[in-house]
Amino acid sequence: VAARLNDYPSLYEGLKEMMAGKVNITYAKGSNLIGDAAYEERATMFGRSLNRDNRTDQELLDEALKVAAGADVIVAALGESSEMSGESSSRTELGLPDVQHTLLEALLKTGKPVVLTLFTGRPLTLNWEQEHVPAILNVWFGGSEAAYAIGDVLFGDVNPSGKLTMTFPKNVGQIPLFYNHKNTGRPLAEGKWFEKFRSNYLDVENEPLYPFGYGLSYTNFQYSDIALSTPTLGKDGSVTAVVTVTNTGKYDGAEVVQLYIRDLVGSITRPVRELKGFNKIFLRAGESKTVSFTITRDLLRFYDYDMNYVAEPGDFNIMIGGNSQTVKTAKLTLK
């Protein structure tokens, strides 16, 4: 059976259907995908059309501002087209396309609340957006039910709990950027922005804009320190790592508790952290739950220089948190 690529509601159609008889939802195109018509054609392969509007960029912007003037909240659906990322779709600039950024700036200047609903197939550079936009909902490229799922989150019927499976850089000069990189010979000291003759940049800090595993909620979660059942792990047996997670916000919500481990010294270079487990829990407002992870030698193994699958004695950092950077840490010794 052939895929029906156009058999789905747009975000506007989905939101309008969901709010029929409740809220008046208006629409304006606002801009084309990008100012360059030839670029847009390259980003819409296989005969798929984005129905490029032949009005000028200013005419599209003026229409959007006129519609926005009568709105209480603005949902700006921006980002990439489906063929703008993926195979044979490389980009040298990873920000929002030019006319889209101009539109977003103008919408923010109205003083109305703006929600950036971001469609993308790759991590984008969103420094300006992070600083200026009050809410960003990253929706990737959803399927035929995407409009309704997005609406559930926008209207508060679902509290978002998704976490990023990719690291978002501050700029393209940081790429490649990933959470489980190897350590360097001259690592930058923790908490420092720059130090001469260390592995860092002159113009931007090392940290990503959004780390692997990152994701916000309409509520907040607080983590206790890690309690290990024992600080040492012998040849056999296991160690239990426990944290208490508390929903400190006003709304019920789910949190993805993530376990990372770092082998501090190995016979070959080891990643600064590796995701070894996760547990999704639901907490009502004000509720606390304990989350435990069982650590065995198998979680500490890796392939050495001779391709033997080994767990080498030594110290390990056990890290638990809501993303790969914001973690609680405890030290475990493998005997």
Per-residue pLDDT of 173-184, as tens digits, reads 999 999 999 998
- pLDDT value for 48: 67
Helices and strands (H, E) in the chain, number of each type: 6, 14
pLDDT above 70: residue 288: yes
Which of the four pLDDT bands, split at 50, 70 and 90, describes residue 285? Answer: very high
- pLDDT value for 218: 97
- Write the DSSP symbol of residue 67: H
Instruction: Give the residue among 275, 227, 281, 285 at the shortest CA–CA distance from 257.
Output: 281
Mean pLDDT of the chain: 94
Third-level CATH fold of 11-155: Rossmann fold (3.40.50)
CATH code that applies to domain 221-334: 2.60.40.10
- pLDDT value for 46: 63
What is the pLDDT averaged over residues 4-32? Answer: 91
Longest dimension (CA), the chain: 71
Per-residue pLDDT of 16-27, as tens digits, reads 999 998 999 999
Name the phi and psi angles at 201, rounded to 5: -110, 160
Same fold? 11-155, 221-334: no
- Prediction pTM value: 0.91
Would you kindly state where each structural domain of the chain is located, as residue ranges?
A: 11-155, 221-334
Asked if 263 and 312 count as a contact pair (C-beta separation under 8 A), the reply is yes
Rounded (10°) angle between helices 11-18 and 146-154:
60
Look at phi and psi of residue 43 and say left if phi exceeds 0, alpha if psi is from -120 to 50, else beta: alpha
Asked if 177 and 208 count as a contact pair (C-beta separation under 8 A), the reply is yes
Asked if 331 and 225 count as a contact pair (C-beta separation under 8 A), the reply is no
HSE (CB half, 13 Å, CA atoms) of 330? Answer: 20
- Write the DSSP symbol of residue 309: E
